[in-house]
């Protein structure tokens, strides 16, 4: 990913990364991702699921947002 960002001369943004709630070593995984982002001065969006909920809203999950229904 860093190579492509450099090729395009754009910042690297890692979108919606994380680990499912209760995942084995999930915290270590997320910490590693933050270290890698920090090392390269990159940024990202951490998704922190609670109670096994999905990061990305899905149709019928109670969110009822039009954009979520369009992306299905």
Q: Which residue has the higher pLDDT, 29 or 62?
A: 29
Residue 11 has pLDDT above 70, yes or no: yes
- State the pLDDT confidence band at 27, using cuts at 50, 70 and 90: confident
Average pLDDT, rounded, for the chain: 75
How far is residue 35's CA from residue 27's CA, in Å, rounded to a whole number? 12
- Does the predicted model carry a pTM greater than 0.75? no
Residue 70 has pLDDT above 80, yes or no: no
Residues in Cβ contact with 37 at an 8 Å cutoff, skipping those fewer than 6 apart = 14, 43, 44
CB 46 within 8 A of CB 39: no
Q: What is the 3-state secondary structure (H, E, C) of 3-35?
A: HHHHHHCCCCEEEEECCCCCCCCHHHHHHHHHH
In this predicted structure, what is the pLDDT of residue 23?
Answer: 81
């Amino acid at each position: 990913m860093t190579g492509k960002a450099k090729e395009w001369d754009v910042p690297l943004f890692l979108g919606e990364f994380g680990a499912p709630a209760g995942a084995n070593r999930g915290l270590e995984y997320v910490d590693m991702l933050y270290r890698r982002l920090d090392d390269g001065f990159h940024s990202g969006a951490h998704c922190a699921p609670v109670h096994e909920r999905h990061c990305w809203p899905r149709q019928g999950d109670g969110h009822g947002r039009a954009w979520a229904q369009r992306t299905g």
